[in-house]
Structure 1
Amino acid sequence: MFKSSFDTAISEHVWRTRYLWAEPGSVPEPAIENTWARVALAVSGAEPHHQNDWRERFLAMLSDWRFLPGGRILAGAGTSRRVTLFNCLAMGPIEDSVQGIFNALREAMQCLQAGGAIGIDFSTLRPALALAQSSGAVASGPVSFMNVWQAANAVLEAGNRRRSAMLATLRCDHPDIEAFIDAKLDTGALSHFKLSVLLNDEFMQALQEDGPWPLVFPLGEHPIPVGGEVCERVWSDGGPPQLCMVHRRVPARALWEKLLQAQHASGEPGVLFIDRINRANNLWYDEHLTVANPDGGVPLPPWGACNLGSINLSRFVQQPFAAHPSVDLGGLRAVAAVATRFLDDVYDISLFPLKAQQKSALASRRIGLGVTGLADMLAMLGLRYGSAASIDLTREIMGAIRDTAYRTSVELAQEKGAFPACDKLKYGASPFVLELDRALQDAIAQHGIRNSHLLAVAPTESISLLANNVSNGIEPMRAFQAMRRVRGAEGQAVFFDVEDAACRQYQALHGPDAPWPKHFVQAADVSAEDQLQLMAAVQSHVDNALSKTVYLPASASVQDVGLVLQQAWELGLKGCSVERQGHTPTALI
């Protein structure tokens, strides 16, 4: 299936435009093998002992395409460029003042210039038409300032090869939540942003009861208005409960319907079930989470960071398409162990754009080991994506990766020390850790652990294309064959005919005219129910979160979107987004 270099023109194009970086005055890397060698050498430099041994182990899993580091690592590791190797960076709370807002903008641009994707919670900004006590001016609201971020990012991105990415979140009880929900309904609006609404338990309860929903904002130093109604809320800075003014009430059902209408029309905003995210956080005792990376796979605290990498599951199928194929679980565990160490080492060679991010990130040493090529693996094994057998196997594979990653992180804690914010008693009481086997829990209690979080399933658009177009993350195959639009070196659109890697291998074995087996399915053939059940199986073994879009047919109604989001909540997912066929966002990778 994989050659020493590339099977497809688009794979080489992605490498040349996104991951091939020549030093000033030097000759560009002539082949992907040189990129693997550069990355393996750079990351192994973090090891205090046996650097050459670890370089060879890192190189072996990279050059065999078994592990695909995040794009920032591939592009930046071992170069002299001042870029971050972290895919995910969170900004701190935005101070609700002109100076605070533009300081936050400056810091965000620093992060984007260094190559990081950022998440920003705009919930701390006063709603539109609110009065500023000091100046008497009227606030313009969070959405207006998101347009400032949008404009600055467009200027910053103009000369860059990589597209910048930002996620904006807003609380579901913020008075401007309706404007936020509608913000991307105009074509081209906020194109550099992805949006997510932070839905809390109280809202989901009000929705079930068909009750009213208060929209509130902290009073701060403002006096309580005469006749004003107030309540207490823990606001987005994670401090003690604050006195908030109730601006107005809306029917919870009406707000929900507005959200569904927007998702149906544009695929955004997505939703993050924020109370569930905080309850499940391994660092529940030390953090308050209000934002995620732009794809939603890693919820983050203020100034948090996470680096990512994905195990290519399609490389662990033995005798693919044969009568009795199988998964090499031993090989999978071996790569998961080395990949965990690799991602931990990235902490010690990477630039952090802001000192606050460095402090926060090093306190937890969060990593996000994930998977890609799941749909291709299932096709090679003769399993239909979304079937009961495919979900059972996915659960087994994710369990093996989870246990290996946690075991390796405990071993790293013994060797190099636990993460600084590790309180072994409190950490051991987190819901996810309590689901680990008893031996692992005892090891953590005795030795601590190197990384607070270890697992995340991110979208893998570009690295999956790099790996000869394996299926993306845990998504079903989008199409067996398609036309793909990607970003050229000068930012222009470039078009390629692409074929899924498993499909290409099947036709190589059986001929180009061979009919597709019945278990080969595309995204349009997989029901929302089956997609959600597979997502739930994966989420149960992931301590961060997962990013997977639920695909619906073009004919899906607003009510169909609502059923998906409701079931995602009932299944225990941490978030969800929906996309109808034919309504794919037009952004170039």
Structure 2
Amino acid sequence: MNANDKLPGMPLPPQEVSIDVLREKYAKGDETTVADVRRRVAKALAAREAPALRAEQEERFFRAMEHGFVPGGRINSAAGLQLKATLINCFVQPVGDSVTGFEDGLPGIYTALAEAAETMRRGGGVGYDFSAIRPFGAVVHGTRSRASGPVSYMELFDASCRTVESAGARRGAQMGVLRIDHPDIERFIAAKDRGGLSNFNISVGVSDAFMHALEADAGFALVHRAEPGEEFIEGGAHQREDGLWVWREVRARTLWDSIMASTYDHAEPGVLFIDRMNGENNLWYCEQLRATNPCGEQPLPAYGCCDLGSLNLTCFVDAPLTQQARFDFKRMREVAAVAVRMLDLVLDATEWPLPQQAEEARAKRRIGLGFLGLGSALVMLGLRYDAPEGRLLAAQIAEHLRDAAYAASVELAREKGSFPLFDAEPYLAGRFVARLPQDLREAIRVHGIRNSHLLSIAPTGTIALAFADNASNGIEPAYSWTYQRKKRMPDGATRAYEVQDHAWRLYQRLHPQAAPGGPLPPQFVTALRMRADDHLRMLEAVQPFIDTSISKTVNVPADYPYEDFRGLYLEAWRAGLKGLATYRPNAVLGSVLGSAASDADQGGIDDDPLRRRFDGRPLGELDSVTSKVEYATQEGRKTLYLTVSFIRAEGLADGVPVTIERPFEFFMPANQRSDGQQWITSSMRLLSMLARAGGPIAKALADMRDVVWEKGPVRCGFLTREDGARVPVFHDSEAAAVGFMLQRILVKRGFLDSQGNQVPVAQLARQLAARGAPIETPPLDVAALPGVTAAEAGGATCPECGARALRKSEGCTRCNNCQYVGECG
């Protein structure tokens, strides 16, 4: 029974956004309702049962979904449709060090790339461990060359993911993992700092050995089996007795601080405690875990998959938001038992992108049953998410779910047999299985078990919207009780929805006299209104009862102290967690979830003023800046006038309304008859389209600066050395020079920082509010320009371009970057 059915009068009607998400993503053909989708899924899975059981099981499956079971998104979108698409959300796939073929049981890089493309084409996301790939500068004996390192090859996977459209018009999602002891670990940590690898989440695989070195403030060796180049050996690299090469030793604390600083500023990389993952693995005796699926809730072996489903916890709350509110554990256990059977059948009903995936799944029969709506359910029960009572109930729910799922899998084993790699003695010796009740352990010993793993708590964004009236996501608390969700329509127009949290809707229904925006009972607490420690405590409470892992984000406010932030990760390791992901509001765009999903899948996307879309030019005047720029190519000296117009955009920063200024239009007022002016004009128009659509301008300009042509370098500006010699600054192409010039305009305006990175929304809002006072513009870091040494940097800040390149020359104050001339005499 659904919690809605227990309200006085009629149940809550579905929200408009829920109907649209259902019809856009899950309802197929003439299906129009949740019941239609559930009936199709029930029929498709029951068809895998023995003929005599099909009608009974179809009805049983349908009732389980009516009463709280929500299969994973791929199951709802593809089951029973005769598509060559997988019902499995995510996979982990191996990547070796050879270019093609197989070596040491691992597919070569391009072989793995082709396998990943096929998996994503069929609808699955993919995680990889890139640690086998030899480091940058390693010797490649076969071609007498040097290796380019794992990060360079990750760019191939990133481009493939961006190109391949998954089944159901989704974009693929990816997780990239690199071990903490890989010699290229610093490159990996910084790989997304400038907006690269936008189709990846990235995580560092951290070992216990590293964490012990961190605690001892000791050195830590970066090692690989690949032989370093001569310059590394001359610098101290050497081969150990175990055959591995020690490329160099670093201070553990320095390396850890680089991870923490990047995560604090950019929300990545995440951290996976790989020894904890393997130590708690039920199949510790026959597999090794090196990576997770893209959202981190499933540590998986090579070609492993996550077959997901969730119980909507709000469906098991009796008398919600009253003094008599209680959680019905018995009913939850009954639904969980049916859900286990359904997910087990998914493994037989799905199309497998690769034969290796089918073989792996059938040998172990992993499934991942979890829950959604924990935050909403606690509110309905009168419990705060950030209080001990809320954590206690969450742990009890997880424990009951664990026991019900394992008991159901034992019963399935009695009926259909255990998973093929089941071996009672080592399985029962596993750390997680050792914590099961004794009667369950004895049943496993006698009858076996159908599924090697049974539990996983995944993110549940759109399935919670479509099938659970926007109950809170997975294990998370509500992020906001109401928000505006904007969807771009096929004709380019924008449609807005008000989206309401399920528990908040129930409260408004039961208390119609409550004033909109008035005070709510104390259990109504959102994610950013609680301490980071409280998010961590919830993970600690639930993780002991989950045999794989949990996708959970620890939200911290923008002003959260760095030292406290860094301590969260050390505390998570000491608490025995398998990993940690945090989010502190920041300006970096392009996380895998943001790029893999459409705007229609993102709640509140237009609340970000940097991403708000403008569908036309507003009436009135725009504030504009025009800059004269001169540069030289082999074809001669050229002069351009570049104009950037700015618009004000409203939105939220840390939940607070703000107004910022951002670029709206790029323009070159020049004759378009020459080839060069034509491409520049077209680039200006494309940049204008990107700016109006709320796209990543910083990334686009950085990409322009990477363009190379065959006509030789482009000289743009000069630097003066201490000896008075003028040193030209070169770019790789005319496009790169124009991109640099536009960056300088935006740096001076305060929209980008001195390195061309996006300035955070909160800082942009402060700058605009203080526009009456001078904007504090960061100087150009001249030392970071191509061909410029630290000794050539320095000088006063130029009032025209912001570069630290203002010097006295020939009696005048002159900028060696933009050629501005100031005081003379």
Retained in 2: the 8 A contact 1:263–1:561?
A: no
Query: What's the secondary structure of 1:469's corresponding residue?
Result: coil
**Inter-partner Cα distance in structure 1 for 2:167 and 2:454:** 34
Match of 1:281 in 2: 281
Instruction: Identify if the C-alpha distance between structure 1 residues 263 and 228 changes in structure 2 by more than 3 Å, giving closer, same or farther.
Output: closer
Shift of residue 39, structure 1, vs aligned partner: 0.4
2:523 & 2:32 partners in 1: Cα distance? 39
CA contact (8 A) 1:95 1:125 kept: yes
CA contact (8 A) 1:219 1:243 kept: no
Distance in 2 (alpha carbons) for counterparts of 1:556 and 1:474: 22
What is the match of residue 348 of structure 2?
A: 348
| Contact 1:213–1:252 (Cα < 8 Å) also in 2 | yes
For residue 394 of structure 1, what is the amino acid of its counterpart?
Answer: A
Task: Compute the displacement of 1:68 (Å).
Answer: 0.8
Are the aligned partners of 2:367 and 2:451 in contact in 1 as well (CA < 8 Å)? yes
Moved more, 481-490 or 366-375: 481-490
Structure 2 match to 1:508: 509
Contact between 2:383 and 2:523, CA under 8 Å: does it hold in 1? yes
Whether 1:556 aligns to 2:563 is no
Specify the SS of the correspondent of 1:482: strand
Q: Deviations over 1:336-369 (max 9, x none)?
A: 1111111111111011111111111111100000
Tell me, what secondary structure is at the counterpart of 1:213?
strand
| 2:99 aligned partner | 97
Deviations 1:376-423 (A, max 9, x none): 000001001121111111111111110000001011001000000000
For 1:173 and 1:491, locate their aligned partners in 2 and report how far apart those are by CA, in whole Å.
48
Residue 321 to residue 159, structure 1, CA distance change in 2 (3 Å): closer
Secondary structure of the 2:163 match is helix
Change (3 A) 1:196 1:491: farther
Between the aligned partners of 1:277 and 1:488, the Cα distance in structure 2 is 43
Please say if 1:199 is aligned against 2:206. Answer: yes
Q: Which of 20, 26, 29 is the matching residue for 2:27?
A: 20
SS at match of 2:432: helix
Of residues 448-457 and 386-395 in structure 1, the stretch that sits farther from structure 2 once superposed is 386-395
User: Match of 2:178?
Assistant: 170
Verify the 8 A CA contact 1:105 1:149 in the aligned structure 2: yes
Deviations 1:183-218 (A, max 9, x none): 11113x212111111000010011101111111111
Q: Determine if contact 1:18/1:162 at 8 Å carries over to the other structure.
A: no
Q: 1:91 to 1:493 in 2, by over 3 A?
A: farther
Matched residues in 2 for 1:494 and 1:165: separation? 26
Preserved contact between residue 127 and residue 174 of structure 1 (Cα < 8 Å):
yes
* CA distance in 1: counterparts of 2:412 and 2:227, whole angstroms: 45
Cα deviations across residues 58-98 of structure 1 (Å, max 9, x unaligned)?
Answer: 1012134x011110000110011101111121112324325
Cα distance in 2 for residues equivalent to 1:144 and 1:20: 40
1:519-558 matched pairs, under 5 angstroms: 519-558=523-562
Structure 1 Cα separation of the partners of residues 561 and 40 of structure 2: 49
Residue 577 (structure 1) aligned to one of 581, 599, 608: 581
Secondary structure at the counterpart of residue 348 of structure 1 = helix
Instruction: Measure, in 1, the Cα distance between the counterparts of 2:441 and 2:239.
Output: 44
Q: Does 1:184 align with 2:183?
A: no
Contact 1:199 1:271 in 2 (8 A): yes
Distance in 1 separating the partners of 2:500 and 2:522:
18
Matches within 5 A, 1:402-441: 402-441=402-441
User: 1:159 Cα deviation (Å)?
Assistant: 9.0
Partners of 1:505 and 1:209 in 2: how far apart?
Answer: 52
State how 1:207-356 maps to structure 2 within 5 Å: 207-219=214-226, 228-231=237-240, 243-356=243-356
Q: What are the equivalent positions in structure 2 for 1:359-508 lying under 5 Å apart?
A: 359-466=359-466, 467-484=468-485, 495-508=496-509
490 and 582 in structure 1: CA distance in 2 versus 1, 3 angstrom threshold: farther
- Partners of 1:491 and 1:351 in 2: CA distance: 35
Q: Contact conserved, 1:485 with 1:496, CA < 8 A, in 2? A: yes
CA shift for structure 1 position 557: 3.0
Distance in 2 (alpha carbons) for counterparts of 1:481 and 1:503: 8
Aligned residues of 2:433 and 2:441 also touching (Cα < 8 A): yes
8 Å contact 2:270–2:580 — kept in the other structure?
A: yes
Which residue of 23, 41, 44 maps to 2:43? 41
1:495–1:569 distance in 2 versus 1, CA, 3 Å? farther
Letter of the structure 2 residue corresponding to residue 372 of structure 1: L
Q: Displacement of 1:221 after TM fit?
A: 12
Report the equivalent of 1:52: 55
Question: Is the CA contact 2:124–2:166 (under 8 Å) kept in the aligned structure 1?
Answer: no
Shift of 1:261: 1.0
Offset of residue 5 of structure 1: 9.7
Kindly indicate whether the alpha-carbon contact (under 8 Å) linking 1:161 and 1:489 is maintained by their aligned counterparts in 2.
no
User: Is the 2:543–2:577 Cα contact (8 Å) retained in structure 1?
Assistant: yes
Instruction: Give 2:507's aligned amino acid.
Output: Y
Seen in structure 2, the aligned counterparts of structure 1 residues 163 and 489 have a Cα distance that, compared at 3 Å, is farther
Tell me, what secondary structure is at the counterpart of 1:167? strand
Measure the CA separation in 1 of the matches of 2:228 and 2:269: 32
Partner of 1:141: 149
**Per-residue deviation, 1:484:** 3.1
The answer to whether the Cα contact below 8 Å between 1:11 and 1:469 also exists between their aligned partners in 2 is: yes
For residue 170 of structure 1, report the CA deviation from its aligned partner. Answer: 0.4
Amino acid at match of 1:89: F
Offset from partner CA, 1:228-262 (integer Å, 9 cap, x none): 42337xxxxxxxxx621111111111111111111
Q: Distance in 1 between matches of 2:494 and 2:201?
A: 21
Aligned residues: 573
Q: Residues 560 and 485 (structure 1 numbering): CA distance in 2 closer, same or farther, change over 3 Å? A: farther
Counterpart residue identity of residue 302, structure 1:
A
TM superposition shift of 1:288:
0.4
Once superposed, what is the RMSD of the aligned Cα atoms?
A: 2.3
Task: Give the distance between the partners of 1:557 and 1:264, measured in 2 at CA.
Answer: 10
The alpha carbon displacement at 1:157 in A equals 2.6
Deviations 1:303-335 (Å, cap 9, x if unpaired)? 111200000001110000111210011111101
Q: 2:801: which partner in 1? A: none
CA distance in 2: counterparts of 1:159 and 1:361, whole angstroms: 21
**1:195 counterpart letter in structure 2:** I
Residues 181 and 269 in structure 1, CA contact (< 8 A), matched pair in contact too: yes
1:130 correspondence with 2:133: no
* Pairwise CA distance, 1:582: 5.9
- The structure, 1 or 2, with the larger RCO (C-alpha pairs under 8 Å, 6+ apart) is 1
State the 1:489 CA deviation: 7.7
- TM-score calculated relative to the size of structure 2: 0.67
How many angstroms does 1:492 deviate by?
9.9
Partner-residue secondary structure (3-state), 1:170: strand
Unaligned residue ranges in structure 1 (runs of 5+): 23-27, 233-241
Report which of the two structures shows the higher radius of gyration computed on alpha carbons: 2
Contact 1:18 1:161 in 2 (8 A): no
Residue 14 of structure 1: how far off its partner (Å):
1.6
Equivalents in 2 of 1:230, 1:9: separation in Å? 64
For structure 1, which segment, 196-205 or 522-531, has the greater mean C-alpha deviation from structure 2 after superposition?
522-531
Aligned twin of 1:567 = 571
